[in-house]
């Protein structure tokens, strides 16, 4: 069964600090891994997307890494801001050629940035 596990479940950090969120997955066949940011009551917004051959990708203060051998990914947030407070969801696609992609969602990490 395809699974995506994230840790920690929740995290509180001070504004300006860095943090790293973890994602482990068992999804086959692997297509790509995405990190989404979801504000409460809103739809997820894509931060990064990586395929098997990519091991790091940045989007502003967000940097995602992927180790396809160990099936692990991380999302590093630098110089956190209050607006970073949200749920961060790791999503792995087990897409197959010719079909709509089917995603396996992690349960998310709820990040709270405080003053």
Partner 1 sequence: DTEVTQTPKHLVMGMTNKKSLKCEQHMGHRAMYWYKQKAKKPPELMFVYSYEKLSINESVPSRFSPECPNSSLLNLHLHALQPEDSALYLCASSQQTFPLSYNEQFFGPGTRLTVL
Is 90 or 113 the residue whose CB approaches partner 1 more closely?
90
Provide the binding-site residues for partner 1, judged by CB under 8 A. 31-32, 34, 36, 41-46, 49, 51, 89, 93, 95-103, 105-108, 110
Is 78 or 104 the residue whose CB approaches partner 1 more closely?
104
- Find the helix or strand (DSSP H, E) in which 113 lies: strand 109-114
Q: How far is the CB of 12 from partner 1 (least distance, A)?
A: 16
Q: How far is the CB of 57 from partner 1 (least distance, A)?
A: 12
Q: How far is the CB of 45 from partner 1 (least distance, A)?
A: 7
SS3 100: coil
Q: What is the DSSP letter of 84?
A: G
Enter the tokens of residue 44. Answer: 């997820």
Is 18 or 56 the residue whose CB approaches partner 1 more closely?
56
Alpha carbon distance 115, 107 (integer Å): 26
Which residues does 7 contact at the CB level (< 8 Å), separation at least 6?
A: 21, 22, 24, 109
Q: How far is the CB of 105 from partner 1 (least distance, A)?
A: 4
SS3 82: helix
């Amino acid at each position: 069964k395809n699974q995506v596990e994230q840790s920690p479940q929740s995290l509180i950090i001070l504004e300006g600090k860095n943090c790293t969120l973890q994602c482990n997955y068992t999804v086959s066949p692997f297509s790509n891994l995405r990190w989404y940011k979801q504000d409460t009551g809103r739809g997820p917004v894509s931060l990064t997307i990586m395929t098997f051959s990519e091991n790091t990708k940045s989007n502003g203060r967000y940097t995602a890494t992927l180790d396809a051998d160990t099936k692990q990914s991380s999302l590093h947030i630098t110089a956190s801001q209050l607006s970073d407070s949200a749920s961060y969801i790791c999503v792995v696609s087990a897409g197959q050629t010719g079909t709509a992609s089917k995603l396996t969602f992690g349960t998310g990490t709820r990040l709270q940035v405080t003053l």
